[in-house]
Amino acid sequence: ATPTSIMAGSGRAAENGVLFKGGQYLESTGAVETILLDKTGTITKGEPAVTDIVPAPDWTEQQLLMHAAGAEQSSEHALAQAIVQDAAQKNITLQRASSFEAVPGKGVLAVTDTGIVAVGTSAWLAERQVAGMPEGAENEKLEEQGKTVMGVAVNDRFAGWIAVADTVKETSRRAVERMQAAGLEVVMITGDNEKTARAIAAEVGIDRVIARVLPEQKSSEVTRLQREGRRVAMVGDGINDAPALATADIGMAVGTGTDIAVEAADITLMRGDLNSAADAVLMSRATMKNIK
Ligand code: ADP
Ligand code: MG
């Protein structure tokens, strides 16, 4: 590649909101074969809102939400913010939490006046041996609708489910189509459960899903694909995506996401629209073609 064509290519890309951190990335991005897309905030808007509150017997919606929001008020997770916001909208006074612990990829644990409150995945509550977990598939029904369902336990007794929905960006489906048309294998990667992930993947036309990945394991999944001999790009927005963005052959950070993701990546997508990720691949190929 000549320096002039690389400079021209980088300039054109920048005009389209795709910032390559160096000419070498403009040269190599077109060779990517598999592209991993983070779900929350990358494929979806990342603005989850509470849709369903399903209290256990002996609990009211109010009580359930009060306890969950009390536990979540110190968490920065988007799911936590959805719960706290819903409680505020309903004028529910939160329980003060005297201690708080976030368990990455699983949930939160807080000590309040009424006891120990856990909010998180059903698998995590089961792991904590919470009593009275329902056998029924209420949570699974909500997950099949693409909602993320969190269980709430107070003093290790099940208190109910809270479901949250996040909408797919209008541009995501078309972007996935363009990536597939360019011959890329498109894979969704998420910490969320399999059912919810599959429902969202289906909305945008993705067949391959890697779900229930703990935050520190996203980069191991990248490595696993690389060992299969694939050249891998990763697109993400969150702090938990940063190691995977750094490990991937090409990391692309959604510019509307966290600074840490932007720092770890090779390309910044200024528009928060996944079409820019497809553009990055196509512009790289076009640049390299002009050179030959
Ligand atoms: P994602 O990859 O979608 O950003 P995370 O890895 O952060 O997801 O979390 C995975 C799952 O762990 C969530 O879908 C949720 O069920 C649970 N979880 C994580 N943090 C919290 C929290 N603060 N409150 C409740 N549940 C949580
Ligand atoms: Mg994300």
Atom nearest to 120 CA in ligand 1: 26
Predicted pLDDT at 133: 94
Pocket test for ligand 1, best of 106, 194, 213 (most atoms within 8 A of CB): 106
Is 38 marked active-site?
A: yes
For residue 292, name the pLDDT band (cuts at 50, 70, 90): low
pLDDT at residue 146 tops 90 = yes
Kindly give the distance from the C-alpha atom of residue 39 to the centroid of ligand 2, in angstroms, as a whole number. Answer: 6
Q: Judge if the beta carbon of residue 83 lies within 6 A of ligand 1.
A: no
Average pLDDT of span 201-228: 96
> In this model, does residue 258 exceed pLDDT 90?
no
Between 282 and 136, name the one with better pLDDT: 282
In this prediction, residue 114 carries a pLDDT of 84
Provide ipTM, 2 decimals.
Answer: 0.93
Does 190 contact ligand 1 (Cβ within 6 A)? yes
Q: Output the average pLDDT for the chain.
A: 95
Beta strands 34-38 and 185-189, pairing class: parallel
User: What does each C-alpha distance from 73 to 69, 102, 159 come to in angstroms?
Assistant: 6, 11, 18
- Please state the φ and ψ torsions of residue 260, each to the nearest 5 degrees: -65, -40
Mean pLDDT to the nearest integer, 150-175: 97
Is the pLDDT at 141 greater than 90? The verdict is yes
Tell the residue nearest (CA) to atom 17 of ligand 1.
106
Domain boundaries, the chain: 3-45+168-291, 49-165
| Angstrom distance (rounded) from CA 225 to CA 211 | 15
Please say whether the structural domain 3-45+168-291 has been given the CATH code 2.60.200.20: no
Specify whether domain 49-165 bears CATH 1.10.3430.10: no
The predicted structure's pLDDT at residue 200? 97
Is pLDDT above 90 for 137? no
